[in-house]
Chain A
C-alpha cells in the first residue's frame, strides 16, 4: 500500500522560504502527478501545483512566481519550495498522489493517496 511521508520546517519568519519534502513508499513513482495542496486555518483546500516523474510541472497561477516543485526519482521524493512567505501562507500543507487521464467521454483526475499534512506557521 502506497504511503506518503512528508516533513519540513513548521515555523517560518516573513520573507523566508518554505521547504517541504514528501517521500513515496510502497509504489511506483512513474505514471502519476505528485501534488501539493494547502489549507489555511478554517478554510478550504487550495491546489498549489504538481510534478510528474519526468519533471513536468503545473502551478497555481496565484502562486506561480514563488513556487518551485521538484522531484528526485532516485529517492522517490518530491519537494515544494515557496519563497517570500507571509502570514497568508500559514496553512496545513499536504502532499498527494494524483491520477489524470481519459475514459470514453470524459477526463478523470483524482488524488487517491495523501500525506498526513504539515502545519506551517509564518510569524515574526
Chain B
C-alpha cells in the first residue's frame, strides 16, 4: 500500500479545469512533486516545490498544498493532457524513503 493516496481515475471535458489530489501525512512537511506518464513513455516531471514548472511544461499546470493534501490543477485541459499522473514525496517515517502515489488516470472527454 502507498503512503500517498490518489483517486484512481478522473475525467474532464476538453478545455475545462481539473484538479488531481494526493493525500498523505508526509505532505504536511514535504511539497509533493507531480509526474505525467503517457503509455510506453517514462514519467515526466510537471510540478515541483511550492508551485514550479520545469522548462517546457505549459503554464496550465499548477500545484498547491493544504494540510496533508497536495493538488495538481490543469486549467483548460487539452487532449494531450490525457495520461497517468503520479505524486511523489518522501515518506512520513523519517527514514528518508521515497514514495509514490498510486496514480490517477486522467481522461479528457
Contact = CB atoms under 8 A, between A and B. Distances in A.
Contacts of A35: 98
Contacts of A100: 90, 96
A98 B49 CA distance: 13
Interface string A33-64: 00101000000111101100000001111000
Interface string B80-109: 000010101110000111111111000000
Interface residues of A, number: 27
B96 A110 contact: no
Given A47-B100, A103-B49, A108-B49, A114 B42 contact: yes
Is the contact region of chain B dominated by helix, strand, or loop, or is it mixed?
strand
Size bracket of the B interface: 20 to 34
Interface string A1-42: 000000000000000000000000000000000010100000
Contacts of A44: 2, 84, 86, 100-103
B33 interface: yes
Interface of A: 35, 37, 44-47, 49-50, 58-61, 94, 98, 100, 103, 106-112, 114-117
Given A45-B43, A111-B33, A111-B45, 18 more contacts: A44-B84, A45-B88, A49-B98, A50-B98, A58-B98, A100-B96, A106-B65, A108-B30, A108-B48, A109-B30, A109-B88, A109-B90, A110-B45, A110-B48, A110-B49, A110-B88, A112-B54, A114-B44
